[in-house]
Amino acid sequence: MEIPTIASLERSYTEIVDAARSRVIGDLSQHARLELARIYVRELDAVYLRLAAQEITEETARGIIKSLERALARYMAQAEPEIKRQVFRALKHMQEAHAQATAAVPALDVGFAGVPTEAFEEMYKRRALGVVKSFKTLRKWNATRAAVQIEKTLEATLLQGLGPQEAVERIAYALASPNEFTRKAVERYATGGGVQKFMRAGARYANITDEAFIAAKRISYDAWRIVRTEMASAAIEGDRVASIRSPVIEGMKWNLSPRHPKPDICDLYAKLDLHGMGPGVFPAELYPPLAHPHDLCYSTHTFRDPSEWGLPNRAPAPARTPKASEVRRILPTVTPRASLRAWQQVRRDTRRASKAWASLRPLL
Ligand SMILES: [Zn+2]
């Protein structure tokens, strides 16, 4: 029988894990987004049915706006556990991928049981410890801010002399304004047709640019961005915790997404040798968090020498601080300000990853 080389084992390992990651970021994200849209449409639908059924006076207008605000609050309250459910599914995918990838390595018998639970705790604890702080996550999502805008718009439109009927309809349209996911969710889940009616009103209100419109569009955009970010983070955390557990993996290597638009912090992660393990390679314990929203960089895995397979992990040494000259060499086309910012983020995020690892250690 032909004995596979380490390089070919690393390759097939990474292929299996990367396929799982693609499913998480592609299919599972789509699914999660649609689930959120389902909750959103159901909540709005109930309010919109009332709207369709009556002549609107100023008093009822205020009542309807209040109900819309409550519907948004209920949406938020349900969205959080829904996203966490999907995150847990994502972590399970990553666990299964590592188990399958390890099964292909000869003469090893390893269990990855419990990886999703561990990774779930780590993901949210690392976040609470500030490892992910550079962009909006679920914790910072505030659809209720949109509610404030909506109320202001009602006041403004009434002051401009628009009738309450028109004011409320404009706001209702903004909230129902069609995007791929609300449309799908309406097709599948809208029961009373209230939302549908306002989606159809589109042409009449399409070029309104008031703040409520912008706020309403933001709700939908934020949901998508948060889902993608949460799922990409879940892919990293699942991969990371399983890699720590793995008896064959030495490090995780940061690889630039081929769709990366312009040089940024990801280039630093992919090219700096911060741990003396080679450019872009980190001990799994200290692999940095997602560098920015919509980040599609991916990890590959480097293997230990077979004589070290199954031995306990060495304690990971913290990342060294990169020199400013190295950063400039990797990011020659970037403005000095942007390159300084990227350098600071590398320092901050790698330090936080070390600190979090030190304080989470008793967990593993
Ligand atoms: Zn990236």
Confirm whether pTM is higher than 0.75.
yes
Co-location of 237 and 290 in the same domain: no
- pLDDT computed for residue 106 by the predictor: 66
Q: What is the pLDDT of residues 187-235, one digit of tens each?
A: 888 776 678 777 776 667 766 667 777 777 777 777 888 888 888 888 9
Hey, which residues does 298 pair with through a beta bridge?
255
Contact (Cβ atoms closer than 8 angstroms) between residue 134 and residue 345: yes
Nearest one of 181, 80, 88, 82 to 138, comparing CA atoms: 80
- pLDDT computed for residue 133 by the predictor: 43
* Neighbour count for residue 221 (Cβ, 10 Å): 10
Band of pLDDT at residue 273, cut at 50, 70 and 90: very high
The answer, yes or no, to whether residue 134 has pLDDT greater than 50, is no
Whole-number Å distance, alpha carbon 50 to ligand 1 midpoint, is: 46
**Can you tell me the mean pLDDT for 133-139?**
46
Co-location of 66 and 25 in the same domain: yes
The answer, yes or no, to whether residue 136 has pLDDT greater than 60, is no
**7 or 207, which is more confident?**
7
Co-location of 260 and 131 in the same domain: no
- pLDDT computed for residue 141 by the predictor: 54
- pLDDT computed for residue 108 by the predictor: 63
Query: Which range of residues forms the domain containing residue 31?
Result: 1-247
- pLDDT computed for residue 166 by the predictor: 83
Whole-number Å distance, alpha carbon 267 to ligand 1 midpoint, is: 7
**119 or 34, which is more confident?**
34
The answer, yes or no, to whether residue 44 has pLDDT greater than 60, is yes
Band of pLDDT at residue 130, cut at 50, 70 and 90: low
- pLDDT computed for residue 312 by the predictor: 83
166-170, 231-235, 320-324: which has the highest mean pLDDT?
320-324
Q: What is the pLDDT of residues 79-114, one digit of tens each?
A: 888 888 998 999 999 998 998 888 877 656 666 677
Residue 324 CA neighbour count, 13 Å, CB half: 5
Whole-number Å distance, alpha carbon 98 to ligand 1 midpoint, is: 22
As a whole number of angstroms, the distance between CA 199 and CA 179 comes to: 10
Contact (Cβ atoms closer than 8 angstroms) between residue 269 and residue 288: yes
291 alpha-carbon distance from chain centroid: 11
Co-location of 5 and 147 in the same domain: yes
Co-location of 176 and 285 in the same domain: no
As a whole number of angstroms, the distance between CA 243 and CA 95 comes to: 10
Whole-number Å distance, alpha carbon 142 to ligand 1 midpoint, is: 26
Whole-number Å distance, alpha carbon 293 to ligand 1 midpoint, is: 9
| Region of 193 on the Ramachandran plot (φ > 0 left; ψ -120 to 50 alpha; else beta) | left
Whole-number Å distance, alpha carbon 298 to ligand 1 midpoint, is: 8
The answer, yes or no, to whether residue 281 has pLDDT greater than 60, is yes
User: What share of the chain in percent tops pLDDT 70?
Assistant: 86
Whole-number Å distance, alpha carbon 264 to ligand 1 midpoint, is: 8
- pLDDT computed for residue 91 by the predictor: 92
**290 or 253, which is more confident?**
253
How long, in residues, is the chain? 364
Among 202, 230, 247, give the residue marking a domain's end: 247
Whole-number Å distance, alpha carbon 331 to ligand 1 midpoint, is: 14
Among 232, 247, 262, give the residue marking a domain's end: 247
Whole-number Å distance, alpha carbon 199 to ligand 1 midpoint, is: 36
Contact (Cβ atoms closer than 8 angstroms) between residue 143 and residue 72: yes
Whole-number Å distance, alpha carbon 269 to ligand 1 midpoint, is: 9
The answer, yes or no, to whether residue 363 has pLDDT greater than 70, is no
Co-location of 59 and 78 in the same domain: yes
**Can you tell me the mean pLDDT for 254-269?**
89
Co-location of 310 and 182 in the same domain: no
Co-location of 93 and 241 in the same domain: yes
> Parallel, antiparallel, or unpaired for β 281-282 and 298-303?
unpaired
DSSP-assigned states of every residue in 158-209:
HHTT--HHHHHHHHHHHHH---HHHHHHHHHH-SSSHHHHHHHTHHHHTT--
Q: Report the domain count for the chain.
A: 2
Report how far apart, in Å, the C-alpha atoms of 339 and of each of 21, 135, 334, 345, 353 are. 29, 18, 6, 10, 21
Co-location of 193 and 78 in the same domain: yes
- pLDDT computed for residue 275 by the predictor: 96
**Can you tell me the mean pLDDT for 127-143?**
53
Among 229, 247, 265, give the residue marking a domain's end: 247
DSSP-assigned states of every residue in 61-108:
HHHHHHHHHHHHHHHHHHHHHHHHHHHHHHHHHHHHHHHHHHHTSTT-
Co-location of 236 and 278 in the same domain: no
**Can you tell me the mean pLDDT for 331-349?**
91
The answer, yes or no, to whether residue 36 has pLDDT greater than 80, is yes
Q: Where are the alpha helices (DSSP H) in the chain?
A: 6-23, 29-53, 58-103, 115-128, 144-159, 164-176, 180-189, 194-200, 202-205, 211-245, 265-271, 324-330, 336-360
**Can you tell me the mean pLDDT for 29-46?**
89
Co-location of 281 and 306 in the same domain: yes
Band of pLDDT at residue 135, cut at 50, 70 and 90: very low
Co-location of 333 and 229 in the same domain: no
As a whole number of angstroms, the distance between CA 296 and CA 228 comes to: 10
